[in-house]
Chains A and B, each alone.
Chain A
Amino acid sequence: MFYKPERISIYFARIFDEMVKIGIGSLPIVAIISLFIGAVTTVQTAYQLTSGLIAKSVIGTIVSDSSMLELAPTITCLVLAGKVGSHIASEIGTMRVSEQIDALDVMGINGAGYLAMPKIIAGIIMIPLLNIIAITLSIYGGYMAGEWSGIVSHDQFISGARSTFKGYTLFFSMIKSFTFAFIITSVSSFHGFYTKGGALEVGEASTKAVVYSAVLILFFDYLLAELLLK
């Protein structure tokens, strides 16, 4: 995978194409999920706050912190493991079983470098950007749910969200999304690239890519929390 590319300009074009596919293609699902996660977090936090001694602004704090720390990077990346991961594995897997990767090899083009590398680079650029959008929309979803249902006022939510904001939390969130992006794209490319057989095996590779990516995301979620939040 790390041989010098044949034509750098073609690889840049491929990276750009993949960025559009992964980033723009995933935007609607990421937006929907983030908005609803934020909204649900607001409603459920309010449900658990039975004591009148706790300020309503805590809801804003919890929604913003949990969006940054866990909900946006982890839930978004788990969903992307399904959407992007299965797409990558099935695309490369189909190319493998239909001899398209052999055709690249015969031409002297490094199949792994040509197919996997642009996807990995595009993923580690676009998924952290999607994470920022997810955080924003999750907090916005929480805010809107609080406003519409009258659970928490505009001022209470905003002051709560601002009161405990730390730049490090956002940095941690970005580190997580960067790591998860690498896991999703590399694991899925690997499973696609080493597919053997036919259509059935492409399906299996796709399923494996999603399952392995999801498990690795959860494992690294814990590992990063242990390493960076203690």
Chain B
Amino acid sequence: MIELKHINKSFDDKQVLFDLSATFHSGKNNIIIGASGGGKSVMMKCMVVLEKPDSGEILFDGRDIVSLEHQEMRDVRREIGMLFQGTALFDSLTVEQNVEFPLKMFSKMSPAERKERVNFCLARVNLDEVNGKFPSEISGGMKKRVGIARAIALDIKYLFCDEPNSGLDPITSRVIDELLNEITHEFQITNIINSHDMKTVFDIGDHIIFIYNGQKWWEGNKEELKTGQKEVKELDEFIKASYFE
């Protein structure tokens, strides 16, 4: 479980996150929705400590990662996987080497064990026969799947997905959604997804948080969204605009 408590974040004079508190549950797809520029990505970057919040606490199963020392933070990072919007696969490495990379860096596995784990992860995301290809030689959907395979290569507890469907066609988007859903429940991962895609929310969302202008405006599950729409005008506008899109 990840808890955010009273997070504030500014860039120069511009405050982006305002006293933001939220809880993300284990074994669930926690989806953060909101308009572009609303603070979703900054919130996610704070959670993976690519940005440090100005104040507040970020608790990973009770450990406040904001105040951790370098070595302790390294240990927490081994439990984190991230699927980037642009996949962020290493261009100079093959698909197989990309997935093997975290294992090589952090595990004590033998080359044979690593190979087995890589093949397991690639099979888990339904990819085969691309092991020797470079990221530039595979499609966008395949890149996303390789990104997921790399993220789960180590036994992670927390998965962060920044716009996992961006740049994908609707069919591939659903494939990725389903894959994330399966992995989350199978490995009991705390999955946090930034998304604009309301289809993702309704298909796999277990817990939904609506961010608007750097503040949390609504939180609930997908069954409660209809009530939320009636109560929060901004959420209603966002959902309607998403459908129009």
Contact = CB atoms under 8 A, between A and B. Distances in A.
Interface string B75-105: 1011011101110111100000000011011
B16 interface: no
Interface stretch (A2-10, A128-136, A155-163): A2-10
Contacts, number: 50
Contacts of B90: 95, 100, 103
B142 interface: no
Nearest to B90: A100
A98 B106 contact: no
Contacts of A98: 86, 88, 91
A106 B86 CA distance: 15
Q: How large is the interface on B (under 10, 10 to 19, 20 to 34, 35 or more residues)?
A: 20 to 34
B74 interface: yes
A107 B75 CA distance: 10
Contacts of B91: 94-95, 98, 100
Contact of B106 (A6, A102, A106): A6
Contacts of B81: 106
Contact of A106 (B70, B82, B89): B82
Interface residues of A, number: 16
A105 interface: yes
> Chain B interface secondary structure, helix, strand, loop or mixed?
mixed
Interface centre among A95, A100, A103 (most CB of B within 10 A): A103
A106 B104 contact: no
A103 B88 contact: yes
A108 B78 contact: yes
B7 interface: no
Contacts of A7: 104-105
Contacts of B160: 106
B50 interface: yes
Given A95-B91, A102-B88, A108-B78, 7 more contacts: A3-B70, A10-B105, A98-B88, A99-B85, A100-B89, A100-B90, A103-B88
